[in-house]
Amino acid sequence: MEATRQEAVRRETSRLEELQRQAAQPKAEEAGSRPDALPAARTPLAQPTTSSGARRRTLFGRTDPNIELVLYAEAWRRKIELNMTFDLVRAALKQPRTDPMVTVALRSDGSVESVTFVRSSGVPQIDEAVRRIVHSQAPYQAFPESLAREFDVIEIRRTWIFDTAVRLY
């Protein structure tokens, strides 16, 4: 069963990579045909920085004009949901709690920079389990080349729902 699940994750990752390549190809052709076109990394929306100088982008929810960013975040979400061991939080879920909202910062090489709670679950064991889950799945897929040219760090903010499984919204 585990091998089947891992094979499904590999197939989905391959499919997403192909979609990312297809999405990037028309953009590259279009930019090449316009002499006034600026590279994506120089557009104001694509170059938020922090005081450390790292080019960062935060993705709130599942929509963004940058389809490659959305596809990367969805692949990350699927990896968490499909590989999470529910036993890590089963006992803690019997306590009253809220659904935590978590921002995970991923570096371009797929490593985890930070796990930040925007809203805690109110149960320290669940919050710690979320941290362990995120770190146990690392390293994540490295950014596709086009994303790596634009961003050094991508912050993905999701609400973690714990019921019969873990779902990230």
* Residue 104 confidence (pLDDT): 97
pLDDT number for residue 4: 74
pTM for the model? 0.67
Instruction: State the helix-helix crossing angle for 2-33 and 67-83, rounded to 10 degrees.
Output: 170
Give how many domains the chain has, as a whole number.
1
Q: Which residue intervals of the chain are DSSP H helices?
A: 2-33, 67-83, 124-136, 145-150
Instruction: State the residue range of the domain holding 123.
Output: 2-168
Strands 101-107 and 56-60: unpaired
Rounded Cα distance, 39 and 91, in Å? 50
For residues 33 and 81, give the distance between their C-alpha atoms in angstroms, rounded to a whole number.
41
Provide the pLDDT confidence category of residue 53 given band limits of 50, 70 and 90.
Answer: low
